Amino acid sequence: MASITLDDVTKEFGDGGDAVVAVDDVSLDIEDGEFVVFVGPSGSGKSTLMRMVAGLETQTDGDVYIGDEIVNQLGPRARDIAMVFQNYALYPNMTVEENMSFGLKMSTDLSADEIEATVTETAEMMGIESLLDNTPGELSGGQQQRVALGRAIVRDPNVFLMDEPLSNLDAKLRTTMRTEINRLQSDLGVTTLYVTHDQTEAMTMGDRLVVLNYGELQQVGTPLECFYRPANRFVAGFIGSPSMNFFEGQVTDGTLVADGFEYALTERMQGNVGDRTAVTLGARPEDYTLSEAPTDNGFEVVVDVVEPMGSVSYVYVRSVAASHDETFVVEIDGQQPISEGERLYAHAPATDVHLFDTQTGETIHQRELTDDAEHALSQPLENASAGAD
Amino acid sequence: MASQNPSQSTSQSSGPATGDQRLDKDTRETLVSVARHGLLLAWSFVVLFPLYWLASMSLKPPGQANALPPDWLFLPTVYNYIRLAQDGAFLAAFANSVVMVSASVVLVLLIGVPAAYVLSRYAIPMERDVLVWILSSRMLPPIAVVIPFFVIFRSLNLFDTRIGMVFMYVSINLSLVVWVMKAFFDGIPETLEEAARVDGATRFQGFRKVVLPAAKPGIFSVAIISFIFAWIELLFGLVLTNFEAVPVTLFVYSFIGSRSIEWGMLAAASMAMILPVVVFLIAVNKYLAAGLSFGVVIKE
């Protein structure tokens, strides 16, 4: 078990003038036993960051600590880590048993009997004991995934690194494995870094999220912090599905004027906005309501497309007054009758709205929360996805 | 048979019927199958007949070997083979070839496979140029380089030595091994070695224990192709050997004299030459099919 510390870590690929900065000056403390998810779109540097912890890439600048030890100069084999790869990277010419015992043979002095016992025990835990004599080519995707996890667990390492381990599975299996990895991690208590581009996985699995974009750290926080207290427009848009709606506007005399509607800012909002004029309003689909009568700060919209999901419906609407025909998403109760072409009033209450600086993307005003919710945000959820399936 | 098929019976009366123009599905399949087998038979005849001719010629008594029209029916005799087996020069040349070619295959794999791996995995400066340079050894027609080789072999005392011929064969096959194996390694995901390194293996252990086994089909393919190329080599043997290191191809060639051709012996020696290739092929057969689909060994 070990903590992980990244200190001003930078990674550039290429050299001289064409260097591409994959990871830009990231500092991070990960506690012993924590489950931390690196999340971001492709090219955000999340995999590179993990590979530097693994020792598969060497940082251009900065220090990586595992426990109290600087591991900059150590190769992957000396770092006592285990990794699960996106394509599983099972050794194709070895049986499942050989795959699982390979690491123990390479990195420990255990006798053949001890190795066999450890492998059998782990295989039983993973439910793959009947597959031990098969080669990876004979296994289904889900079974390969289990073997890859088993191969990592059997090593009993200081740190687990998982690089998009579920992205090759079908949706149903992914949900099951998500729960299972969560359970395993909390049972074993091993510090885990998990890379994903899928915000649902990030929300449901991590004790904390590390949100990255273009190699830069955007926010580090619990899933709910990132959801309710996004540090900037990128995090606000990336976390949550469907994404938050953004409207760029100008603030004059306490009113935000966007293309298609005006929004009267509360006093607190005005205080937060200060003398900025270019301000972006952000509101999540579920915070909007659609009603037949006009409301304060409401504006007339026409329904473009309705996507019924069952318990809720996603309604794509566009402002009647807008000069463009871009739509935004509103989530309404699935039982509310609605039809395409209908004209309604869209309204997001002032308590639920975020404001961002249009230039920098920084959050300048956050939505309101109850005190209890505020307190709960900073607490990592135990077993975050226990009901995910 | 038509009465069981409703579409045929109804279409007989209607105008633009297509149904009755077409043959029954089973009949069509049979015809296609017959045609396919016919073509395959014809092709196997083209391929196998010369082999049959050679084999039958080697089993005919002297004088009958080259008779025209051929004697289709003859009493087979192993006369030619017995003469061949008693010919010390033939046995020496055969042994020469087995030793020299086998050694060259081992050596070319020892050099070429690691080279291909490095070219596939590491960032080599001017990698493309290095690859083209390696291939450039095969760009000139052999006849253009044989004289320089002769001069070099003389001055290095490699002329008419087995070791010289081994180097010769290596130089012929190295570019093939490097190019094919590089493509093969490119097809093996790099995460395999990374997994091995994370599992506690050194880079070399990762190569030896994980990548090499995965590359086995490719290695066997280039081994057999290298073996064949070296085994059938004649030109360099002709120029670079004299007596000590004569390969079996040269010995076979010697039956074609300036005045007469010893057809029976020529055929028997040729048959004997085919044998090691066939044995080698059968031995590595199971790896070969996978190896010929270069690079696609690993399902993801």
User: Pseudo-torsion of CA B267, B268, B269, B272, nearest 10°?
Assistant: 120
Q: Could you tell me if A218 and A332 lie in one domain? A: no
Cβ contacts below 8 Å, chain A against chain B, sum to: 72
In a domain, A389, yes or no: no
Q: What is the pLDDT of residue A273?
A: 92
Q: Do B194 and A81 touch (CB under 8 A)?
A: no
What is the pLDDT tens value at each position of chain B, 300 positions in all?
Answer: 444 444 444 444 444 545 556 778 888 899 999 999 999 999 999 999 999 989 988 998 877 777 777 777 788 888 999 999 998 999 999 999 999 999 999 999 999 999 999 999 998 889 999 999 999 888 888 888 899 999 999 999 999 999 999 999 999 999 999 999 999 999 899 999 999 999 999 999 999 999 999 898 889 889 989 999 999 999 999 999 988 899 999 999 888 887 888 888 899 999 999 888 888 888 877 777 665 554 344 443
Cβ of B300 within 8 Å of Cβ of A168? The answer is yes
Token look-up 């729960």 returns A179
Interface of A with B (CB under 8 A): 54-56, 75-77, 81-83, 85-87, 89-94, 102-103, 106-108, 137, 151, 155, 161, 168
- Asked whether the beta carbons of residue A102 and residue B209 sit closer than 8 angstroms, the reply is yes
Task: Tell me: do A61 and A174 sit in the same domain.
Answer: yes
Based on the number of CB atoms within 10 Å of its own CB, is B157 exposed (0-12), middle (13-18) or buried (19 or more)? exposed
Shared domain check, A142 and A10: yes
- Residues with Cβ within 8 Å of residue B268, at least 6 apart in sequence: B58, B80, B81, B83, B84
On whether both A226 and A373 belong to a single domain, the answer is no
Question: Would residue A239 count as lying in a domain?
Answer: no
Distance from A309 to chain B by nearest Cα, in Å? 33
Residue A384 lies inside a defined structural domain of this protein: no
Mutation target vs B (from A53, A93, A140; most B CBs, 10 A cutoff): A93
Domain membership of residue A386 (yes or no) is no
State the Cα angle at A335 between A334 and A339, rounded to 5°: 85
Helix (H, G, I), strand (E, B) or coil at A25: strand
Same domain (yes/no): A141, A63? yes
> Do A220 and A261 sit in the same domain of this protein?
no
Q: Are A117 and A254 found together in one domain? A: no
> Domain count of chain A?
2
At which of A233, A255, A281 does a domain end?
A233
Structural domain of A312: 246-377
Residues A212 and A254 in one domain: no
Tokens standing for residue A167: 């992205």
Please state, rounded to an integer, the average pLDDT across all residues of chain A: 91
What is the structure's pLDDT at A380?
A: 63
A91–B214 C-beta distance less than 8 A:
yes
Q: Who among B205, B216, B298 is closest to A106 (CB)?
A: B205
Chain B residues with CB-CB distance to A168 below 8 A: 300
Residue A42 lies in a domain: yes
In a domain, A160, yes or no: yes
- Would you call B40 exposed, middle or buried from its count of C-beta atoms within 10 A (0-12, 13-18, 19+)? exposed
Query: Which residues does chain B have within 8 Å of residue A134's beta carbon, measured at their own beta carbons?
Result: none
d(CA A55, CA A9) in angstroms, rounded, equals: 13
Domain shared by A124 and A148, yes or no:
yes
Instruction: Judge if A228 and A253 occupy the same domain.
Output: no
Q: Are residues A201 and A297 in the same domain?
A: no
Q: Do B199 and A82 touch (CB under 8 A)?
A: yes
Which residues does chain B have within 8 Å of residue A106's beta carbon, measured at their own beta carbons? Answer: 196, 199-201, 205
Of A184, A204, A233, which marks where a domain is finished?
Answer: A233
| Within a domain: A385 | no
Answer whether residue A166 is part of any domain.
Answer: yes
| A55-99 pLDDT, tens digit each | 999 999 999 999 999 999 999 999 999 999 999 999 998 999 999
A250 token code pair: 């100008």
Residues of B in contact with A83 (CB under 8 A): 194-195, 198
Residue of A nearest to B192 (CA): A89
Closest to A289 (Cα-Cα) out of A326, A331, A257: A331
Query: What is the nearest CA distance from B68 to chain A, expressed in angstroms?
Result: 56
User: Looking at this predicted complex, what is its ipTM?
Assistant: 0.84
Residues A90, A20: one domain?
Answer: yes
Residues of chain B positioned with their CB less than 8 A from the CB of A86: 191
Backbone angles phi, psi at A33, to 5 degrees: 85, 0
Q: The CATH number of the domain where A322 resides is what?
A: 2.40.50.140
Question: Given this model, what pLDDT does residue A389 score?
Answer: 38
Cβ–Cβ below 8 Å for B198 and A75:
no
CA-based nearest residue in chain B for residue A157 = B199
Local confidence pLDDT in tens for the 389 residues of chain A:
689 999 999 999 887 667 889 999 999 999 999 999 999 999 899 999 999 999 999 999 999 999 999 999 999 999 999 999 999 999 998 999 999 999 999 989 999 999 999 999 999 999 999 999 999 989 998 999 999 999 999 999 999 999 999 988 888 889 999 999 999 999 999 999 999 999 999 999 999 999 999 999 999 999 999 999 999 999 999 999 899 999 999 999 899 999 989 999 999 999 999 989 999 999 999 999 999 988 888 899 999 999 999 999 999 999 999 888 899 999 999 999 999 999 999 999 999 999 999 999 999 999 988 888 888 877 765 544 433 33
Tokens 């194709």 belong to residue: A92
- Of the three residues A184, A210, A233, the one that is the final residue of a domain is A233
B242: phi then psi, degrees, rounded to nearest 5: -135, -50
Chain B contact probe: residue of A102, A118, A138, A151 with most B CBs at under 10 A: A102
Q: What is the pLDDT of residue B292?
A: 54
How are strands ordered across the β-sheet holding A255-258?
A: A261-264, A255-258, A245-252, A278-283, A354-357, A363-365
State the CATH number of the domain containing residue A34.
Answer: 3.40.50.300
